[in-house]
A and B are shown apart, each in its own frame.
Chain A
Amino acid sequence: MDNNSGKGRFPGFLRKYRGLDHMGKNVTILKAVVVVCVLAIFYNLLKLMIWDSDEYKQAAVSQQLKTETLAADRGTIYDANGEKLVQSAAAWVINLYPAQIKENQREELCQKLAEVLDLDYDYIKGRSNMNTVSARLSVKADKEQKDLLQDFIYRTCYVRKVKKVGEDGKSYYEEEAYLEDDPSMELKKVEHYKYIKGISLDADSKRYYYHGSLASTVLGFTNFENVGSEGLESYYNNELKGVDGKIIKAQNSKGGEMPFDYETVIDPINGNSLELTIDANIQSVLEKYLRQAYVDNNVENRAVGIIMNVKTGAILGMATMNDFDPADYLTIRDPAALQEIAEIEDPDKKKDAINTARQHQWRNKAVSDAYEPGSVFKPITMSAALEEGLTDMNDTFNCPGYKVVGGRTIHCHKAGGHGTETLTQGMMNSCNPVLMTLGERLGAANFYKYFTAYGLTNGTGIDLPGEAPGGSYHKEADLAKPQELATSSFGQTFTVTPIQMITAFAAATNGGYLMQPYVVQKVIDPNGNIVKSHEPVVKRQVISAETSKNIDMMLEATAGVGGTAHNVYISGYRIGAKTGTSEKIATLATTGERKYVASMGAVVPVDDPEIAILILFDEPNNPRSHGGGTIVAPVVRNVLAEVLPYLGIDTIYSENDARLMDTLVPNAVGKTVEEATEMMEAKGLQVRVIGEGGSVTGQIPAGGKSAPKSSTIVFTTTSDGEVPMTTVPDLVGLSPTQVAYAVKNRNLNIRYSGTGYESSSGVAKSQDIPVGSRVEQGTVVTVEFSVAGITD
């Protein structure tokens, strides 16, 4: 082109052709080829880098970025008093990478893991030999265990690089680490070197349960991935879990990090906390007695206890036995189930059985399982009849022991019948014919109207998962049959869940308001602000306050002398209660076995109800009885005896009660007999003096001790101050009158406990001082009574 050498000069644009021979022209063509190629390349680059770059760019970004999750802290669960029940704490997931584990370290690693984590050695060994990239251990390490393992894995090592040749002929470098320095090799000392290969500890969290298995069926648990699986953890999972944060980092193709400041951090939003209506103290009392009763009565199909605030619907305690340990929810607690599983040989069936048993123990029976309520339902029918004006408190009924309905004879539980009785007596006796009569008067439509109004055809809407859906409830059409209506009127042939039953029971007694039961009082965000606060929800007023009052009075009578629920009686409290024993008709029809559900509902205090309690045993196997009045009532009584003072419910004592109440005995030793007698009588105590002396030298019960007000204090005026001895008689099995006589005969004092000692129906169950013991006269013997032979 610029080849303008030569003698002459070419003018202008032609100059470039001067001196070009064929070769020059050919090169021009060559240049054109190069230009065309380069233009093609430019076009392709434009297409790849600008016009169509998105797809590949996205793909590149997605392979280059590694997202690490910053786990949000799961919310804490507090009880009604702000006491922590469940809290998340840091834990570490242990992953093994079988292919990376060094053969000479495998044994050591497995043993260490077994020792630190308290796991089965064979299990870990199996995991470490798995044919997968990674194998996770089923247990998370806590801080302490993690520290132990880290010290084991990371040590001060002496490292060198060794060149090796792989199978493909390419060479690569590998690090070799030694615990000891070896001068013959050039080793570099590295602190905190990952000496044990093939294991990683990944930060995670786990739930920590401050009260062990307390309220486990209500709280539920979180699974290995920290997702709520049962109970509140599941129902409120979205509130509790929070929003996980993220760290987005660049990674190379081997998954390693790149030395870029390319890091985007999205902070996690921690989960909200829950404040429950459940009070840990009440719950633990409930569980204590329920657990004992579950064992004592050999309950086959679990026991349920619910305590509810009748004014708000707040659940104060809810327990199901057998329960589980939420920190170790996979372990089956029920020894019977374990026994059963151990006997299964087929591994598949065994697995199924284990799963079934686990599901069973996790299930919150209080809301998930329906049962036939039996006689506890009777107040509901009665309230309906009263509300509709189909009966009144002065109404009288006759019970011949049976009633013929629709051509079928339905018996009362008392073979001979209760004879003529008022409505209240009908309730006290739990008389089926009375209820059948009322049911008949109500008719199917009215019965169903109240059945629905009491919320028994729908779920209660409690904030717990797995509330049994409709279907086990009564349908109006079924009630068209007279027998069906008759049996329904005393709580048979239909099923409801315990939570429905206690809600309806509470509605019948609290002035007629059907409340929505709830467990969570407040949802609190991580900064302590209240996100949600549960206000009591009145679903509807089912019956009038007056009718409700009447029901309360009848229930109080039932818990009183002569009532079937008298075993629940606690002096000082006005308790209304109704027992129930329902036969499981479905079980009878299918297996021919007679199985029962024993239950009791109670409400305190009847003049202005505060709390309701429902306890039921599904299939108790107590040789003594399967009746609610006999086996459930004492449990209810024990629970209430502790819960009522805790709740600060006022005590009101009747005159008789007041007389039996304990009082502090003043010290009269050293005083004159007259003075001492005056002192005791001021306290309402009686006095018996032994000896001729003028002043008191000894006294039983001694000063400062407490004794029932009905006691007789024994003074001695002899110089040695000793009170004569006497022998404690055998009191168990005697009636209250007989007991009083026997104790008086031996110059002893008695403290009544239990129920039924005011009437002839009571029987002494136990005494605190053993038979035949030699004790001083005037000593207080505590005798526990209970009402025997109750049928409902």
Chain B
Amino acid sequence: MERISTDRPPEPRRPKKRRSSERRVDYYEPQAMYRDEVAPGRRHTRRRNASREDKTFWGKIRNAWRTMTGVFSNRRLAFDKPLFIIIILLLVVGLVMMYSASYAYAFYKTGDSLFYIKKQIAFAIAGVILMFAVSTIPPHHFKGKWTNGLLLISYGLLILVLFLPRIQGVRRWINLGFTTFQPSEIAKFAAILWCAMYITNHYKEMNLTSYPDLETKARINKNKVRKWFYAMGQNFKVAVLPFLVFLGPMLGLIVIEPHLSCTILVVLIIGTQMFVGGTKKAYFGILGALAVIAGYLVIYTDIVPYGGSRIKVWKDPFVDKLGDGWQNIQSLYAISSGGLFGVGMGNSKQKYLYISEPQNDFIFAVICEELGLIGAMLIILMFVFFVWRGFTVSLANPDRFCRLVGIGITSQIGFQMILNICVVTKMVPNTGISLPFFSYGGTSLMMLLTEIGVLLAISRTSPNKVV
């Protein structure tokens, strides 16, 4: 074959067409700025006008897929890697420890050592998928009807559960046949969202430093004390009352389930949001004082009979060694057996029916026994790292709603961990609170991973990538 040579110089290379998978899709829409907020830079983002394709159903799905697959490669799409790694680490360690803690009990109870872990792994896989899915949804989309809808749904479920038959003597669970779930899990998330939304919408009012109305009210304006009370009153109207009105009934419903630990947790979450959002610190002082008084009354007097016996057992579990004190005692035995380095993975003896249901609330005792002080501290430090990172990435997001949701979710997990470990180490009375990532509970784990998904979404949609 003959080759014809030409003098024509080669064509300049055309810029390579971007492949669709490399397309940058920006979900972040800068929000209105507040006076004290640094305007989010746009250095890392580039707006692309949404095409018509993007608005179709399959287009949305495709975009979601691209987002999910882009999380590790694309800087702007990536969610916070340290956060992601610590979550996966906690999840894996949690599953391993759950298996270790549960297999003896599972064997005695059902004859199958893998009974609990199989279920948990299934839920974990489903949960991780859900986490990824949720992480593609820009969290500010939850503002508005989503949040209100979720709040209504959780109210509905909380009321519904009161009319369902009791399970293990309480009305906490809704039985779906293949599994059970707690409406309070959803309620927690709804509360986080609602708080975040409310605070976002009323941030200015909640953080007023000067009150234009006072100009006309000289009597108050001139007196510092009166002025303080006035400010408190104004703050109460916008920063306390709405929470009481909208979320107070939810607490009431959870209390009558009864589910004390969840109530405490929801109070802590709402409180955290309010604290961060701008409710006056004095209210927290008052609330703290009230809590101390109530705690004193419950602990040192016999006003509350139910709590009273629980408190009594807490103070000295040996008064009812084989009854209510059993769990606490066995937990302490397990923890003390651990020593510095623990008895080794899988070698716990206390899980052999001494700690009843070691895969549940008291799993940390088994962890202490098997992994020792070092292991237990490492796990706590993992949680601490998670909380730290959670707060950091939340704050990095310029969207106030996202920040508040992230802080809510992070603090929920943090408080749950602290409360659980305090219960297990007998620092506070037994309330029945589980250890996130570790305790057995399928729907609860899925709910947790969903929330984590939201947290990841917050980290991803933030233009301010945290180092």
- List the interface of chain A (C-beta within 8 A of B): 1-3, 5-7, 18-24, 26-27, 29-31, 34-35, 37-38, 40-42, 44-46, 48-50, 52-57, 59-61, 63-64, 161, 169, 172-173, 250-254, 256, 258, 260
30 A-B residue pairs with Cβ-Cβ distance under 8 Å, sorted by A, are A1-B395, A3-B395, A5-B41, A5-B396, A6-B38, A21-B34, A22-B207, A23-B403, A27-B395, A30-B275, A30-B391, A40-B427, A41-B427, A45-B373, A49-B336, A49-B368, A49-B373, A49-B376, A53-B337, A54-B336, A56-B336, A56-B337, A60-B349, A61-B337, A251-B352, A252-B108, A252-B354, A253-B352, A253-B354, A258-B352
Q: Which residues in A have their C-beta under 8 angstroms from that of B442?
A: none
**In the bound complex, CA of A57 to CA of B168 (Å):** 32
**A49 contact from B111, B335, B352, Cβ within 8 A:** B335
Check B353 against A57 for contact (C-beta < 8 Å).
Answer: no
Check A45 against B464 for contact (C-beta < 8 Å).
Answer: no
Known pairs A34-B414, A56-B332; A41 contacts B380 (CB<8 A): yes
B13 vs chain A, min Cβ distance (A): 36
Check A49 against B422 for contact (C-beta < 8 Å).
Answer: no
**In the bound complex, CA of A20 to CA of B425 (Å):** 36
**A23 contact from B276, B350, B380, B418, Cβ within 8 A:** B276
Check B336 against A48 for contact (C-beta < 8 Å).
Answer: yes
Check A3 against B336 for contact (C-beta < 8 Å).
Answer: no
- List the interface of chain B (C-beta within 8 A of A): 34, 36-41, 104, 108-111, 168, 207, 272, 275-278, 332-340, 347, 349-350, 352-354, 368, 372-373, 376-377, 380, 384, 387-388, 391-392, 394-396, 400, 403-404, 407, 411, 414, 418, 421-422, 425, 427, 463-464, 466-467
Check B340 against A23 for contact (C-beta < 8 Å).
Answer: no
Write the chain B residue with the least CB distance to A52: B336
Q: Which residues in B have their C-beta under 8 angstroms from that of A63?
A: 333, 354
Q: Which residues in B have their C-beta under 8 angstroms from that of A256?
A: 108
Check A60 against B336 for contact (C-beta < 8 Å).
Answer: yes
B305 vs chain A, min Cβ distance (A): 22
**In the bound complex, CA of A93 to CA of B296 (Å):** 57
Q: Which residues in B have their C-beta under 8 angstroms from that of A258?
A: 104, 349, 352
**In the bound complex, CA of A268 to CA of B336 (Å):** 33
Check B373 against A30 for contact (C-beta < 8 Å).
Answer: no
Interface-central residue, B337, B340, B354, B404, by most chain A CB under 10 Å: B337
Check A44 against B278 for contact (C-beta < 8 Å).
Answer: no
Check B40 against A5 for contact (C-beta < 8 Å).
Answer: yes
Known pairs A22-B36, A24-B395, A49-B373; A7 contacts B368 (CB<8 A): no
Q: Which residues in A have their C-beta under 8 angstroms from that of B414?
A: 34
Further pairs besides A5-B40, A34-B384, A60-B337: 20, Cβ < 8 Å: A1-B395, A5-B396, A6-B39, A19-B38, A20-B395, A21-B37, A23-B277, A26-B275, A30-B407, A35-B384, A38-B380, A46-B373, A48-B332, A48-B335, A48-B368, A49-B373, A53-B339, A55-B336, A56-B335, A169-B168
**In the bound complex, CA of A35 to CA of B39 (Å):** 31
- For the residues of A in contact with B, the DSSP-based class is helix
Known pairs A41-B427, A49-B336, A253-B354; A6 contacts B41 (CB<8 A): yes
**In the bound complex, CA of A299 to CA of B332 (Å):** 71
Q: Which residues in B have their C-beta under 8 angstroms from that of A55?
A: 336
Interface-central residue, A27, A161, A169, by most chain B CB under 10 Å: A27
B78 vs chain A, min Cβ distance (A): 16
Known pairs A63-B354, A252-B352; A49 contacts B340 (CB<8 A): yes
Q: Which residues in B have their C-beta under 8 angstroms from that of A19?
A: 37-38
**In the bound complex, CA of A64 to CA of B463 (Å):** 56
B82 vs chain A, min Cβ distance (A): 11
**A161 contact from B111, B335, B340, Cβ within 8 A:** B111
Check A41 against B425 for contact (C-beta < 8 Å).
Answer: yes
**In the bound complex, CA of A56 to CA of B422 (Å):** 18
- For the residues of B in contact with A, the DSSP-based class is helix
Q: Which residues in A have their C-beta under 8 angstroms from that of B391?
A: 27, 30-31
Write the chain A residue with the least CB distance to B396: A3
Known pairs A34-B387, A60-B334; A45 contacts B278 (CB<8 A): no
Write the chain B residue with the least CB distance to A47: B425
Known pairs A20-B395, A49-B336, A57-B336; A38 contacts B352 (CB<8 A): no
**In the bound complex, CA of A344 to CA of B207 (Å):** 100
Check B333 against A45 for contact (C-beta < 8 Å).
Answer: no
Check A45 against B40 for contact (C-beta < 8 Å).
Answer: no
**In the bound complex, CA of A49 to CA of B36 (Å):** 48
Which 8 A-B pairs give the minimum distances between C-beta atoms? Answer: A56-B336, A252-B352, A60-B333, A53-B336, A253-B353, A5-B464, A19-B38, A6-B38
**In the bound complex, CA of A251 to CA of B387 (Å):** 40
Q: Which residues in B have their C-beta under 8 angstroms from that of A260?
A: 347, 349
Q: Which residues in B have their C-beta under 8 angstroms from that of A26?
A: 275-276
Q: Which residues in A have their C-beta under 8 angstroms from that of B394?
A: 27
B316 vs chain A, min Cβ distance (A): 14
**A38 contact from B109, B336, B384, Cβ within 8 A:** B384
Q: Which residues in A have their C-beta under 8 angstroms from that of B39?
A: 6
**In the bound complex, CA of A19 to CA of B40 (Å):** 10
Known pairs A20-B395, A63-B354, A250-B349; A2 contacts B467 (CB<8 A): yes
B198 vs chain A, min Cβ distance (A): 14
Write the chain B residue with the least CB distance to A58: B336
Known pairs A2-B466, A6-B41, A38-B380; A27 contacts B276 (CB<8 A): yes
Check B373 against A50 for contact (C-beta < 8 Å).
Answer: yes
**In the bound complex, CA of A30 to CA of B275 (Å):** 9
**A44 contact from B277, B387, B425, Cβ within 8 A:** B425
Q: Which residues in A have their C-beta under 8 angstroms from that of B278?
A: 22
Interface-central residue, B36, B40, B333, B368, by most chain A CB under 10 Å: B333
Q: Which residues in A have their C-beta under 8 angstroms from that of B275?
A: 26, 29-30
Q: Which residues in B have their C-beta under 8 angstroms from that of A3?
A: 38, 395-396, 464, 466
Check B333 against A41 for contact (C-beta < 8 Å).
Answer: no
Known pairs A5-B464, A6-B39, A22-B207; A57 contacts B337 (CB<8 A): yes
Write the chain B residue with the least CB distance to A19: B38
**In the bound complex, CA of A31 to CA of B37 (Å):** 21
**In the bound complex, CA of A697 to CA of B462 (Å):** 146
Q: Which residues in A have their C-beta under 8 angstroms from that of B373?
A: 45-46, 49-50
A2 vs chain B, min Cβ distance (A): 5
Known pairs A22-B36, A63-B354, A260-B347; A45 contacts B392 (CB<8 A): no
Q: Which residues in A have their C-beta under 8 angstroms from that of B467?
A: 2
Write the chain B residue with the least CB distance to A262: B349
Check B392 against A173 for contact (C-beta < 8 Å).
Answer: no
Check B392 against A2 for contact (C-beta < 8 Å).
Answer: yes
Q: Which residues in B have their C-beta under 8 angstroms from that of A6?
A: 38-39, 41
B313 vs chain A, min Cβ distance (A): 17
Q: Which residues in A have their C-beta under 8 angstroms from that of B387?
A: 31, 34
Write the chain B residue with the least CB distance to A35: B384
Q: Which residues in B have their C-beta under 8 angstroms from that of A45?
A: 335, 368, 373, 376-377, 425
